[in-house]
Amino acid sequence: SQQGEEDPQALSIQEGENATMNCSYKTSINNLQWYRQNSGRGLVHLILIRSNEREKHSGRLRVTLDTSKKSSSLLITASRAADTASYFCATAPFYGNKLVFGAGTILRVKS
Amino acid sequence: EAGVVQSPRYKIIEKKQPVAFWCNPISGHNTLYWYRQNLGQGPELLIRYENEEAVDDSQLPKDRFSAERLKGVDSTLKIQPAELGDSAVYLCASSLDRRVPYEQYFGPGTRLTVT
């Protein structure tokens, strides 16, 4: 079963625009992670935010976490065609070494 | 540093045939994971190893799936016999920290098609 639910399921934007993806989850977490998957390839870790953090930045990525609403968002600024991929959120519980992935958001950046 | 290596990258078999996937994790990573990813979905954990011990195999269909991790390094996932519903991408991942899940490093996956 998948805990995270991403929204939207698919997103199409022009190069240079910002892309925002959302993730909602159900149970308490230790941390939340975002991964990117290019077509036909494995997942690549993008960023991790702990439950006691509210916002984190990494290059053009900005992640927020609202534990009261059990939701997170991933913002990609100044998007590029190379950002075209599927993006997944994954939640980590306090106990047990297990990530639970959502169904992902498909991002298409048009040049 | 070499990443997670998986082979084969693609496999097409007929139903009822056996199939095996191989994974070599990043050197020094004690934790190894096998995931299955169906089309349009996120990965779902099949089994997790801490060194050579399978510590979470609750999602592994044990009637037809088996896995092993010899000497706590390489791992093999086997399906016998394969069914049409097993068509998916099988991903292997490894990580360094075993207490709480931190970032995992994924291989490119094996795309299995069962006809």
- Give residues 24 to 53 of A whose Cβ lies within 8 Å of B: 30-31, 33, 35, 40-45, 48
State whether A42 and B48 contact (CB < 8 Å).
no
Distance from CA of A15 to the nearest CA of B (A): 24
B41: left (phi over 0), alpha (psi -120 to 50) or beta: beta
Query: What is the Cα–Cα distance from B42 to B28, expressed in whole angstroms?
Result: 26
Rounded Cα gap, residues A92 and A35, in angstroms: 13
Inter-residue contact B8 to B77 (CB < 8 Å): no
**Dihedral (C-alpha) A86, A92, A97, A103: value to the nearest 10 degrees?**
-30
* A4/B42 CB distance under 8 A: yes
Binary contact (A90, B100; C-beta < 8 A): no
Q: What is the pLDDT of residues B21-70, one digit of tens each?
A: 999 999 999 999 999 999 999 999 999 999 999 988 989 999 999 999 98
The pLDDT-based confidence of A5 (bands split at 50, 70, 90) is confident
Structure confidence at residue B1 (pLDDT): 64
Residues of A in contact with B93 (CB under 8 A): 42-43
Give the separation between CA A79 and CA A28, rounded to whole angstroms: 31
Q: B79-109 pLDDT, tens per residue? A: 999 999 999 999 999 998 666 667 899 999 9
Q: How many CB atoms lie within 10 A of CB A8?
A: 12
Q: Which alpha helices (DSSP H) does chain B contain, by range?
A: none
